Amino acid sequence: MDWKKMQLKRHALTGISYMIPVVVAGGLCMGLAKVFGGWDIAAGTFAAILDQIGGAAIGFTVPVITAGIAYSVAGRPGIAPGLAIGTLANSMGAGFLGGLIGGFLTGYITLLIKKKIKLPQAMIGLMPVLVIPLLATLASGLIFVCILGSFVSMINGAITAFLLSMSDSSGLILGGLLGLMRIDMGGPCAQAAYAFSSSMIANGVYGPMSATLVSGMTPPVGVGLAVLIARKRFTGAEYQAAKTAIPLGLCFITEGVFPFVASDPVRTIISCTAGSAVSGALAVFFGCEMPIPHGGVFAIPFCNKPLMFILAFIIGCLVTALLLIVMKPKTASDADDIEQELTADIEFS
């Protein structure tokens, strides 16, 4: 089997891209509910209505990612059975993991039905509205209920229970790992951390998202802070890039650090990864919970401990800035010579 031709990563990212707006909409509604009604929302209030709307949207995240993956694999015929299997995964407590597995299962079964079942020309119109939805939903549903569902639900339940019962030390480890996954600055590792944290929101676990959000904001702001503190160690182009990196970082756009990664990858990646790990670990250690999966500084009011979230962010940025300053040459004119030596050493080793 040629796994590259199956393009599993592309299908998964397509499903996640459809899921994220649903999580954002639901999370914002639930966050607004907490702004108006506190974390203990009274029934019959406007905050309770907002919380109900947000909860309904969050509850739809699993069907959306399942349908998105099935659509990516099999085209439009995969949407209806994908929604059905995603809803089934939700009802069985399989969560985000069940949605991922259900999406691939439904997509490839739908694709198989499309290729293998041929109807007479007079009945061809029944394929997209009756034959494919019925057979794909039945086949995928039976496999999921009888074989996969219980096992995936058990794994999802164990993960959720572990996250809800984390001690301070395990929280530090989890937050640090989510921060370390920022090593590729918005690449597949960072996207995996974001997808995991978003899926935990659907399970009512908000700690991982606080780590993911703060660790994603840290690299651009930390690097920009380093430029402002030690201006002579950076080139004019880097100084101009810092002006853009800081506001981008505050908006949770990690890619603002790319110009620095391109010009000085070794030092930048080391300092940014360290700062992200520290800020992520501290956010979970401080007990920060973030029901909003995006927004950068604009999401801070929705955090249960906004001041502690800000403290974790500041410390992470300082770690990034100080590490980068220490590793940088004293003057920008020395940077090229030292960078060439570093590159030569790496190539030789």
Residue 338 confidence (pLDDT) = 45
Q: What is the pLDDT of residue 303?
A: 87
In the structure, what pLDDT confidence band is assigned to residue 85 with cuts at 50, 70 and 90? very high
Q: What angle do CA 54, 58, 60 make, to 5 degrees?
A: 120
Asked whether the predicted pLDDT for residue 110 surpasses 90, the reply is: yes
Confidence of residue 138 (pLDDT cuts 50, 70, 90): very high
Percent of the chain clearing pLDDT 90 (strictly above): 25
Mean pLDDT, residues 24-34 taken together:
79
For the chain, give the mean pLDDT. Answer: 82
Question: What is the structure's pLDDT at 55?
Answer: 84
Contact of 214 with 252, CB cutoff 8 Å = no
Q: Return the half-sphere exposure (C-beta side, CA atoms, 13 A cut-off) of residue 325.
A: 16
pLDDT in tens, 233-254: 888 888 888 888 888 888 888 7
Other residues' Cβ atoms within 10 Å of the Cβ of residue 65: 33
Give the highest mean pLDDT range of 1-10, 151-160, 167-176: 151-160
Structure tokens at 6: 């199956």
Amino acid at 197: S
Taking CA atoms, 232 is separated from 14, 243, 246, 331, in Å, by 43, 16, 18, 5
Q: How confident is residue 323, by pLDDT bands cut at 50, 70 and 90?
A: very high
Residue 318 to residue 280: CA distance in whole angstroms: 13
d(CA 217, CA 251): 7
What is residue 333's predicted lDDT score, i.e. its pLDDT?
A: 53
> What pLDDT score does 256 carry?
78
Whether residue 73 has pLDDT greater than 70: yes
Query: Residue written as tokens 């920008």?
Result: 332
Residue 344 has pLDDT above 50, yes or no: no
pLDDT at 163: 67
Q: CB burial class (10 A; 0-12, 13-18, 19+) of residue 280?
A: buried
Q: Is 317 exposed, middle or buried (0-12, 13-18, 19+ CB in 10 A)?
A: buried
Q: Is the pLDDT of residue 272 over 60?
A: yes
Any idea which residue has 């203990």 for tokens? 40
For residue 20, what pLDDT band results from cuts at 50, 70 and 90?
Answer: confident
Taking CA atoms, 289 is separated from 212, 285, 303, 314, in Å, by 11, 11, 6, 17
Q: Where are the domains of the chain?
A: 3-164, 168-348
CA atoms within 13 A on the CB side of 1: 4
347 band by pLDDT with thresholds 50, 70 and 90: very low
Residue 116: closest CA among 101, 130, 127, 104: 127
Is the pLDDT assigned to residue 224 strictly greater than 80? yes
Q: How large a percentage of the chain has pLDDT more than 70?
A: 89
> Which pLDDT does position 342 carry in this prediction?
46
pTM of the model: 0.69
pLDDT at site 107: 93
